[in-house]
Structure formats: structure tokens, C-alpha cells
Structure 1
């Protein structure tokens, strides 16, 4: 019995010994493996930019004719990604006056200058909001061992806002040239040396776009069954084709439709959304309707760090459809002045200014406009847009005076009354609302004012709706119910009395 117990004990000791040795070998192996592989940047970064596109300026490499070793596409893409991430991290650091992430993209010598600059700004209570919009890099040299690269980046378009004690003291857009040396460390590229060689003010010269032959007589359009979700799961070419025929037969020549920024995929525009938009434009062309395409619907950030993502979104949509015969104009944004209070007027106007340049740089043939919510804001950026558009839901007695004031302030641009209408709702939530007869009288009178002032127009809207998303007018039932009854056609498909005045 004693012998048996000794054998059991001996067996347990041997198994324990083997397990300890196996554990030690496994640990050493894991450590050896870790020390012989590149660092995992996703675990190193404090800015959490990996795996998510946060910075997408337009970047165009010059043809590769560098000295030294030829660079393959894999290395070039890695260099490009690390370079853009380095810009993004630097911009975040300049805005926050914190150094997190800098060490991941800059070597010891390069990061010292950045740290000193950030420290100085912090001590003087200065912060910088900045972004780059265009890059045109040239690979000058790639070493034989694949560890060093020299790049010159020309015509880098940089936008900056400098604040002192949170007060804006400088706003500028520059075109600069940078010379950089990159080192490959731990499996990714770091900037070792960066020099700004020259800089000058940026100026975009837009081509003058003729608008003499444009005469917009149209309507804002959503399908009745899926308003504010036109390109969603219920998208129907059959429905849209039927509606476009109704619009054309009513004597109108154009429709205004909306591209929602997030719904279309933000910077990574979804191909299936583009296809649905193309089908819609094709249907408009088939019945000889022109389309005012409103971009960035339901977008409301405007932050400088968002600009490159917004730029990518606009580039994809505008370049895809700029040659489509149905397009008559680009509307940069619907009612952006409603965001002045929450986002800051200067931020919104700077964003609009930049987006106008982006659209015009891609399409030099179609006019650009902005859908202001009232006549008071309409003169903003009047020298940048080709058509001045405004919405009017106020007292009709004041409209004639407002139009004459606008014509005095903006004598040489076409004016488009881009949204107008009145709800025919009168019920529990709004007992003193308007009737369908009141709605008809409204449209009769406003069409008389439109004709007298030689305005172009787009009314709101073809249909009454049974559903209004809360994002449109909020949750209050008296607002939602009123919004459901702006149409010329009721929820049962019958033309309301106002339909007689849909076009004149």
C-alpha cells in the first residue's frame, strides 16, 4: 500500500514537472514571437483612428520615377496610409494641445519640434483647427534596404482656423510644398524630417456658368409611401416613373430630390445607392424633367476634421452624375442657416464656401446653389453661387417686399423660390388650421406673385404623407400632423383643389 502511494506521488510530481516546463517553453516562445514581429498599431494608438476612415483628402501620386530601389504598390499604399494618419494625428494634437499619438507617426527628432510647438500653444492658450484637402506627393528616393523614403508633396491645400482663448483670430487657406524623410520602424512608416519649403494663399478660380437658359418650374419630390427614405428598401422605379409623369403632365419641368449624407454612406458612398439615384435620374430624363440634386441632407456637423470625409462624399456623387442629362443644378445643402445657432454661423459658412469650390472643381458646367430657409440668409455667399435659392413659409403679404429687397441686393443672379406651401390640416391638433380651399387660394396668390416678379420656383410638395420622421419636424403631434398635408394630392391619391395652381 505504501509502495502504491509512492508511485502515485511520483507520477503526480512528474506530470507537474512536465506541465511547468511546457508552460515555460510556451511563454518564451510567445515572447520570442512578439519581439520578432512589428508592433500592432491598433493596440498602440491612443487616437483610435485605425480601421476607421477619418481623414480622406484627395491624394494624387506623381508617376513613380524615383532614385534607388523601385517601390511596389504594397509599400506605396502603406507609406500613403501612414502619411495621411500622421497628418490626422498632428491636426488632432494641434486642436487639443495634447501629444497622444504623435510618437506613433514621428521619430524622436521630428516629434520634439511638434511637442515644443504644442507646449508653446498651450502656454499661450492657442489652439488650431486645421485640415489638408489636396496632396500631390512625389516619391524622390527609396533606399535599397527598403527602410528610408524621401517624398516631396506639392500644392498641399491647407485650411486653418487659429483661436486664442477660444476666440477666432485667423482663418486662412494656403497652398504649400513639403519635403519629408520617412523611416520604416516596427513595420510602419514614421516621419523623421519634415520641412515646409514654400507657402502662398490659396485661390480657386471658378469658371463662370451661364444660367440664362435655365427656367426652373418645379416641385420638391418624395414618393408618398416612403418620404425622407426615397432610396431605401421600398425604392420603386414604377412609383417614381408614375409620379414623374404626373409632374410633367401638370406643366412642370423639374424636380428637387435629396441625397442624405449618412444614408448614402458618408465618405464611402454605397454603390447600391448610386444605382438607385441613377435610375431616378434616368426616369426623370425619360419624361424630360430636370433635377436639382440637393446634397448633404440630414448632415449637421461642419467640423473642420470632417471636411475631407465630406469632400470624398461630394466628389463621388458629383463626378458620377455631372454628365447626366437630367441634372440641372447642384444644391449644396438644405437650409444650412438653421444650424447657425447650434454649430456657429462662421463654421457653417466656411464649410459651404469650401463645398462650393469642391463641386465647381469637379463640374464646371452645372450651376450651384444653396437652399436657404428664408430671404434674410439668401445673400450669404451670393458671389459664390450661380443661382440664389430661398424658401418662404411666412406671410404672403410680406413676400413681394422681400423679393424686391433681394433683387436690390442681388441684381445679377437668378432667384429661385425653392420651397413654399401651406398645410391643409385643420383638426384636433390644430383646430384653427387651413382648409383645402385655403391651400388652393394660397397657391393661386403665390403663383401670381411669382409671375409678377419673374421668379423661378419649386413648390412643396406633390403628396400628402401618412408618416413624417421625427428628424424632420420633431415629435410634437401638431407639427407632424400639419406637415402631412402640404401636398397637391391627398393620401388617397385624389387631386386637391390646389392642384389647379401647381404650375401657374
Structure 2
């Protein structure tokens, strides 16, 4: 028996030895593969916080006749990468009062100063949430040995919130300039000095004055093709169908459409070329039909966190620069019904993101108006002093509209107002106790258009077509919400005109 136990022990020792060596060999093999696969070696050398590369503030270099050696293109990219990451890591540290990760992006002397700030904030229960939005660095010196670089960073746009005990004490948007020195250590560029430049910076870009935007003549609708609702730019994109639809819209005497750009489907911070191409084709077709287009950005977006701001800016920047010269462009609707996110995301957080996006788009496109598609007239006076015209949705009873509109107009002052969504479903079935009908839809539109015409209110109704399917992401899974949503059109899925079609037809009577 003793001999048998000894054999078992020997076998276990041999197996353990073989297993241990196998693990060691496997680990060495993985390291070899890693170093030879083109992976970012920063992830193994940098031991601190993982950096989110969706953090992409606007950055534009100006290179002077700097002293020292000429700057290599790849080196400049490396400097830019580590410089942008250093700001991100610092913002994470300030938000958590935890120094983890700072070692990777700051040298000893600067780290000690940052540690003092973190300790002071932690002692007072204060946290800072911040992000930089734009950098304009000017290269001034690059050492002969390639280990030191000096540059100034002009007009650094940033947004910061000061929190204490779960309450926001202060929020500010700033533009400052800095003198920066970075050292190359362990293959990475770390900040040695970051000193604020006391010279005045450029003023913060405010919304530009376009005069009174020409929206009073708008008569339009919110557009999706019948077969691809909420997915016009997907795999079912069909130019012929869109052309026919635009001809039908123009034949109704309408002059404007409102379309929606889904944030994630378009590639978030890196808008895909395929989506850009399809969007441009829609605009070209609209221009040929003499239709103006109001673009609603950030459909199905709901984050608003400071850490996500620069990604949304790169998204909007791409689209604005793509379309701002197009003759069909009417203007920019920042977000559809953002007030519905107040409860889940926080009202202040949503409003801060909206206000900053207005500012950014006003900087990129100085020729077109900006608005926000509020879900109700009760919310539509928010940021009224920041937009060029107010845009709101109305789905209540027609006999209450006049009073509601008058109240909003009083709050709006001289800011023009667009009714950018209104309508009623003709659905009649189990989920609404068979209470709807196409005739009731006609009566609704008759009453609404009468008031709109009398008050000369520009409008866009919801929508041209009924839909076979409505994505659950739009109204949820519940059938009593999804079924009525399928029947808001003035044209059936089969292409037949409903009684409401003639009411909404704006062709002048001969």
C-alpha cells in the first residue's frame, strides 16, 4: 500500500512539473505573439488606467521653424496621442480623487503637484468632472536627441463641473492657453511642465446671429420610407423609392422634410463613408425636388456623460462639414426629444450637452440655424436663448393647441417657433378598444391645419406612411404602444391615400 501511495505522489509531482512548464511556455509564446502582432505596446508598458480612445478632442497642430531637429511625422503622432491621453487620465483622476494612472503620463515633479490637488479635494469632499474639447498646439522646440519637446497649446476649450456631496456646485466653460514641455521616458511622452499662459485667450464662441431664420414658410413632414422606418440608411436603402416618395411629397405642395441620423448606426465618432454617401444621396435627391431638409442628429443617443462629449463632437463635426454647403440644407436639429432623458440621465447633464453641441455646431457652420426637437411645448422654452428657432412636438387634442401655443409664444419672445411633429394614429383594434379610425384622423388634421393656417404657424406632421413594423427600440415591446405607432401615416403601407391625405395636401387651390 505504501509503495502504491509513493507511485501516486511521484505521478502527481511529474504531472505538476509538466503542467507548470506548459504554462510557462504558453506565457512566453503569448508574449512573443503580442510583440510581433503589431499590437499597441502601450498597453503592456503603461501600467496605469486604461485610456478610452473614443476621447477625441479637436486638435490642430501648427509647426513653426522650431529649433533642434526636424519633427518626424510619427513622432508628432506619438506626442499628440500621449498628450491627449494625459488630459483624459487627469480628468479621470480628478473625478475620482484617485491618482491611479498619473504615473504613466506625468513626470515626478508635476505628479507631486497633482497629488496635492487630489488630496486637498478629497479632504473637502470635492470632485471635478472635466473634459477638454479642442487643442491648438504650436510646436516650438524639439531637442536634437529627440527626447524633449516644447509647444504652446492655444485656446484650449474645456468644460468643468465642481461637485460636493453629490451636488453640483458650479459649471463653467473656459478657454485657456498653456505652455507645455514633454519628455520621452520608457518610449512614452510624459508631461514635465504644464503652465497656464496668462495672456488673454480668444472669447468663447457664442451662437451667431443669423437674423430671423426663414422658417415661416415651412410646410413639411417627418420622413421615413414605408418599408424601412427608422432605418432609412441601412441595407434596405433604395434610391428609386426615395425619389418616388420625394416626388409625392412635392406633389402635395410640401417644401420641407425632417430626417433622422442615428448616432451608433452611423459609426459614432468615426462616421462611416457608406453612411455619408447615402446621406449625401438623400440630400441630392431632395435638392432636385426643391425640398429643404432639417437634419435631426443623434437619434437613439442617450449618454451625455462628459467622457463622451468629444466622441459626439467628432460625429457632428463630420456631418456638419459634409453638408453645410449643400443647397438642400435647412438647418440642424441637435436631438430628438431630449427632455425624455431628463429622468434617466439628469436634466442638468442633458442641458449642458445640448448647449455645448449648439456652440460647437455654430462654430463649424455659421450659415444655418440650430434648434432642438423638444417632445412637448412645456419643455420648448428651455435654451430658447441659445437656438435660432424653437421646435416642439404636439400630440394632444386640437382644441387645446391654441392655448398651449400662445403660452409658449409668450415665453419665446422674438424667437421663431416651428411645430416639428404632430399627428394622430388611425389604428383601430384591441389595444385601443377599437376607438380610432381613418375618419377620426381626417377630423384631427382638419382642426389642426385650420389653426395652423389661421396663426401662420410653420409645421411638419408625422408622417407620410403607415408602417408594417415598428422597432421595439422606438416605443418598446408593449403592443398597445407599438400597434398605434404603425398607423400615423396619411398613406397606407400599400401606397393608398387615406382621407387625411387630402387635408394635408398644401397644393394651392386653382
Q: With structure 2 as the length reference, what TM-score do the two structures score?
A: 0.89
Q: Deviations 1:5-61 (Å, cap 9, x if unpaired)?
A: xxxxxxxxxxxxxxx9xx99xx9xx99xx9xxx993212344322xx5221111111
| Residue of structure 2 in register with 1:188 after alignment | 188
CA contact (8 A) 2:63 2:140 kept: no
Q: Indicate the SS of the match to 1:121.
A: helix
| Residue of structure 1 in register with 2:391 after alignment | 389
Deviation at 1:404, TM superposition (A): 0.9
Deviation at 1:70, TM superposition (A): 1.2
Q: Indicate the SS of the match to 2:430.
A: coil
Q: Indicate the SS of the match to 2:432.
A: coil
Q: Indicate the SS of the match to 1:311.
A: helix
Q: Indicate the SS of the match to 2:234.
A: coil
* Distance across 1 between alignment mates of 2:381 and 2:329: 24
Task: Say which of 294, 300, 303 aligns to 1:292.
Answer: 294
Deviation at 1:276, TM superposition (A): 0.1
**Equivalent residues in 2 for 1:92-131 (5 A)?**
92-131=92-131
| Residue of structure 2 in register with 1:203 after alignment | 204
| Residue of structure 2 in register with 1:279 after alignment | 281
Deviation at 1:63, TM superposition (A): 2.7
* Distance across 2 between alignment mates of 1:201 and 1:275: 36
Task: Say which of 464, 468, 472 aligns to 2:470.
Answer: 468
Deviation at 1:351, TM superposition (A): 0.7
Deviation at 1:212, TM superposition (A): 5.2
Q: Deviations 1:376-428 (Å, cap 9, x if unpaired)?
A: 11111111111111000112221100111122112312211100000001102
Deviation at 1:366, TM superposition (A): 1.0
| Residue of structure 1 in register with 2:160 after alignment | 160
* Distance across 2 between alignment mates of 1:88 and 1:490: 51
Q: Indicate the SS of the match to 1:112.
A: helix
* Distance across 2 between alignment mates of 1:430 and 1:374: 23
Q: With structure 1 as the length reference, what TM-score do the two structures score?
A: 0.90
Task: Say which of 312, 322, 325 aligns to 2:324.
Answer: 322
* Distance across 1 between alignment mates of 2:236 and 2:154: 47
* Distance across 2 between alignment mates of 1:132 and 1:337: 25
| Residue of structure 2 in register with 1:172 after alignment | 172
Q: Deviations 1:308-343 (Å, cap 9, x if unpaired)?
A: 111111111001100001101110000001111111
User: CA 1:502 to 1:117, structure 2 compared with 1: closer, same or farther past 3 Å?
Assistant: same
Instruction: Indicate yes or no: 2:154 matched with 1:137.
Output: no
* Distance across 2 between alignment mates of 1:298 and 1:220: 16
CA contact (8 A) 1:391 1:420 kept: yes
Q: Deviations 1:213-255 (Å, cap 9, x if unpaired)?
A: 4321000001111111110000000110011111000110010
* Distance across 1 between alignment mates of 2:300 and 2:258: 15
Deviation at 1:491, TM superposition (A): 1.7
| Residue of structure 2 in register with 1:55 after alignment | 55
| Residue of structure 1 in register with 2:381 after alignment | 379
Q: Indicate the SS of the match to 2:431.
A: coil
User: CA 1:227 to 1:39, structure 2 compared with 1: closer, same or farther past 3 Å?
Assistant: closer
CA contact (8 A) 2:48 2:103 kept: no
CA contact (8 A) 2:213 2:369 kept: no
| Consecutive aligned runs of 4 or more in structure 1 exceeding 4 Å deviation | 199-202
Task: Say which of 336, 340, 344 aligns to 2:346.
Answer: 344
CA contact (8 A) 1:261 1:299 kept: yes
Deviation at 1:429, TM superposition (A): 1.7
Deviation at 1:432, TM superposition (A): 4.0
* Distance across 2 between alignment mates of 1:125 and 1:503: 61
User: CA 1:231 to 1:216, structure 2 compared with 1: closer, same or farther past 3 Å?
Assistant: same
CA contact (8 A) 2:377 2:393 kept: yes
Deviation at 1:202, TM superposition (A): 5.0
User: CA 1:201 to 1:278, structure 2 compared with 1: closer, same or farther past 3 Å?
Assistant: closer
| Residue of structure 2 in register with 1:12 after alignment | none
| Residue of structure 2 in register with 1:453 after alignment | 455
Deviation at 1:196, TM superposition (A): 1.6
| Residue of structure 2 in register with 1:430 after alignment | 432
* Distance across 1 between alignment mates of 2:249 and 2:435: 27
| Residue of structure 1 in register with 2:411 after alignment | 409
Deviation at 1:207, TM superposition (A): 2.5
**Equivalent residues in 2 for 1:488-503 (5 A)?**
488-503=490-505
* Distance across 2 between alignment mates of 1:340 and 1:65: 51
Q: Indicate the SS of the match to 2:293.
A: strand
CA contact (8 A) 2:48 2:104 kept: no
* Distance across 1 between alignment mates of 2:114 and 2:429: 64
